[in-house]
Amino acid sequence: MMAARSESIGTRLSDTLWRRPAVLLFLLLLPPVLWLGIIYLGSLFALLLQSFFSIDHFTGQINYRFTLSTYAELLTPANFDIILRTVTMAACCTLASAVIAFPIAYYAARYARGKWRAVFYLGIMMPLWSSYLVKIYAWKLILAKEGILTWALEGMRLNWLLEAYLSLPVVGGNSLSVSTTGTFIVFVYVWMPFMILPIQAALERVPGSMLEASGDLGARPAQTFRHVLLPLALPGIVAGSIFTFSLTLGDYIIPQIIGTSRLFIGQAVYQHQGIAGNIPLAAAFAVVPIVIMGFYLWGAKRIGAFDAL
Amino acid sequence: MSAVTFDKVSRHFGAVRAVDGVDLDIAEGEFFAMLGPSGSGKTTCLRLIAGFERPTAGDIRIFGEPVADLPPYKRQVNTVFQDYALFPHLNVIDNVAYGLMIAGQGRKLRHNAADEALEMVRLGGFGARRPSELSGGQRQRVALARALVNKPRVLLLDEPLGALDLKLREQMQEELKTLQRQLGITFVFVTHDQGEALSMADRVAVFNDGRIIQVGAPEDIYFRPEVPFVADFVGSSNVLPAALVARLTGENCPAAIRPERLQLAEYGPIMARVTGLSFLGLTTRVSFETEGARLTALLPQDAPRPLQGDLVALNWAEGDLHLMRPKS
């Protein structure tokens, strides 16, 4: 009793929290739960709500009656085209990112040690430190008609190759900087770290003996990749692809600066809520990536992508 | 016929000579142990047989066939890894059937074979489980079944019992011996535990610093060590320095004597001071100091026990002192 009186308030508080861990947990969780619940999920819910309203095309006023007509609007050829284009782009970027990221991540996880490991992390992370806009404009200069790429190809007398490629439908254009290919290249570049790091983390948990065991049991390297390495890396690939896929679905700056004038979902959302004032349609467009990601995760779980977790 | 032969095989990692000019001849159907402290090159030798390492110099043959350019997946050997290396994304039956799946065997056929292999290691009915749901001993058996189901001509075991507790180890030692006799496959077994090597193997190779120091039957290694390292490492024999041996026998070379063969006596060739006593259950371990050597004796429980600090005489029976004459 005497000892308790001489203790400071801080000590007494610590003692109380030690005796009641539930109170401590409650205090620790309260701020993030409030943030997540009200500001984050709350605003998301408000957005979803908007998508069930509609706009009066004559007055431009929002009609606050529940309807699915805005969603029906998404299915008109012009709008559906945007969705299709964005999803295709996201899928291509994800695939390309995975293919390029895997060897890099494999090297980093299996071979890079000490100094080279630091160089690797610096190389992966450094692009993330510089401004996103600066990087995109830099790419515009690289890919432009008078840009360094054209110059370099001319120097190697290979510009006919570029011209031939640019004359192709869909992927081609006047120059790389105003082609779908340009958009694709920049997307893949900008999201690459988000693919490399999860794959590397997954590969780092695969002990070397497991790959040796596969070879020991008669598997050629390609079979070891197919039956051991890929399944074990799959959670990392899926985690990375969640980033690259959803970031591509939502981005509206890259296709604005580099690419054709054809819209992506992010640009459509931007235009409908800003310039056109069509909040319901913007909201409906914004729901599309959420639904697609939902299906994506469900599919990934079905094929057992998370089994090795 | 020889199952595995090494001819002056070396494996260097930069300046480190992990394996340094090793000659080895393992007979078909033999239970062969490679014994040594960590870093002595025994595991590297095993990895050379499996094909995970390539020799820097020398020639390795498996059943007469040179294997220097043969990758692991083309060798008729299988390995039980120290960490078992079971595939976490496959259940037990698919782990065991992995080699057969790679070999192109149909699902039903390979699952039947895997079931049989699991029966053999007394894990029937565990096929549907994940490796993560098994205990250490069970994982070890799965790793064994996974290797044996491929009917290898040589089975390599890399400290397979290292992670098991004492009782399980002793049980597995018995089982491995029985399995080896039943199957007639050549077993090559790496361990740092001398008891394990002596109790299981037909022949033991003692490694130190990348070289084989002595090869022989367990009894030879135990009772007739050729060099002080073997005497000391295998069962912690007492090593008497050459000067002392010269005084006792007239021969100028070190000698070994087993702790259980040292007796306290009224009179004896050596006087020693008791420096420590520890009770081990069946025996009492007594440490002595004498003429520049530290000796250990294991006294049976019914023998009279000296006190710390006593000066006692030590004796032994004729033939218990094993002279380690340098090889000419």
Predicted confidence band of residue B27 (pLDDT cuts 50, 70, 90): very high
Residue B226 pLDDT level (bands cut at 50, 70, 90): confident
Kindly report the nearest CA distance between residue B7 and chain A, in angstroms.
23
Q: What is the pLDDT of residue A97?
A: 96
Res. B328: pLDDT tops 60? no
Please state the domain count of chain B: 2
Q: Are residues B176 and B269 in the same domain?
A: no
What average pLDDT does chain A have?
A: 89
What's the rounded Cα separation, in Å, for the pair A289 and A83?
9
Q: What mean pLDDT do residues A73-102 have?
A: 94
Boundary-marking domain end, from B229, B261, B294: B229
Is A85's pLDDT higher than 50? Answer: yes
B263 vs A276, more confident: B263
Sheet strand arrangement including B322-323: B238-240, B255-257, B322-323
The answer to whether residues B148 and B276 belong to one domain is no
Q: Do A217 and B81 touch (CB under 8 A)?
A: no
* Domain boundary residue, one of B229, B260, B278: B229
Does the structure show a pLDDT above 90 at A218? yes
Distance CA(B309)–CA(B295), nearest Å, equals: 14
Q: Could you tell me what percent of chain B has a pLDDT over 90?
A: 56
Using a CB-CB cut-off of 8 Å, the residues of chain B touching A207 are 83, 85
CA B189, CA B54: separation in Å to the nearest integer?
19
CATH code at position B121: 3.40.50.300
Both tokens of B208, joined, read 């130190």
* Domain boundary assignment for chain A: 77-302
pLDDT of residue A308: 55
Tell which phi-psi region holds residue B64, choosing left (phi > 0), alpha (psi between -120 and 50) or beta.
Answer: left
Reported as a single tens digit per residue, the pLDDT across B249-277 is 888 888 888 888 888 888 888 889 999 99
Rounded to an integer, what distance in angstroms lies between the CA atom of residue B88 and that of residue A304? Answer: 13
| Candidates B50, B52, B73; nearest CB to A218 | B73
Best to test chain B binding among A211, A214, A216, A220 (most B CBs inside 10 Å)? A216
Please give the full DSSP string across A147-215, using - where no structure is assigned: SHHHHHHHHTT-HHHHHHHHTSTTT--SSGGGSHHHHHHHHHHHHHHHHHHHHHHHHHTS-HHHHHHHH
Mark whether B12 and B73 lie in a shared domain. Answer: yes
In the listed set B173, B198, B229, which residue is the last one of a domain according to the structure? B229
Is residue B279 located within the same domain as residue B137? no
Does B255 fall in a domain? yes
- Asked whether residue B264 falls in the same domain as residue B134, the answer is no
Closest CA in chain B for residue A235: B89
Does B154 fall in a domain?
A: yes
What does the pLDDT read at residue B214?
Answer: 93
- pLDDT surpassing 70 at residue B94: yes
Provide the sign of the torsion angle of the four alpha carbons A67, A68, A72, A73, taken in this order. Answer: positive
Nearest residue in A to B102, CA atom: A219
Tell whether B67 is covered by a domain: yes
This complex has an ipTM of 0.83
Q: In chain B, which residue's Cα lies nearest the Cα of A212?
A: B52
* Domain A77-302: which CATH number of 3.90.1150.10, 1.10.645.10, 3.20.20.70, 1.10.3720.10: 1.10.3720.10
Listed in sequence order, the residues at least 6 apart from A260 whose beta carbon sits closer than 8 Å to its beta carbon are A173, A178, A179, A180, A183
pLDDT > 70 fraction of chain B, expressed in percent and rounded: 99
Query: Does B79 reside within a domain?
Result: yes
Query: Are residues B283 and B202 located together in one domain of the fold?
Result: no
Residue A273 pLDDT: 83
In a domain? residue B328 = no
Q: Which domain holds residue B94?
A: 2-229
Q: What is the pLDDT of residue A307?
A: 63
pLDDT at B116: 94
CATH number, residue B272 = 2.40.50.140
Report the pLDDT averaged over residues B188-206.
Answer: 92
What was the pLDDT predicted at A1? 47
Q: Is residue B77 part of a domain?
A: yes
Token duo for residue A278 = 């069509």
Instruction: Measure the CA–CA gap between B110 and B97, rounded to whole angstroms.
Output: 6
**C-alpha–C-alpha distance, residues B316 and B259, integer Å:** 10
Q: Does B250 map to a domain? A: yes
- A225 CB within 8 Å of a chain B CB: no
Claim to verify: residue B143 and residue B270 sit in the same structural domain: no
Residue A295 is encoded by which pair of tokens? 């299906």
B280 and B212 assigned to the same domain: no
Helices A77-110, A115-129: axis angle to 10 degrees equals 160
Q: Are B270 and B204 within one domain? A: no
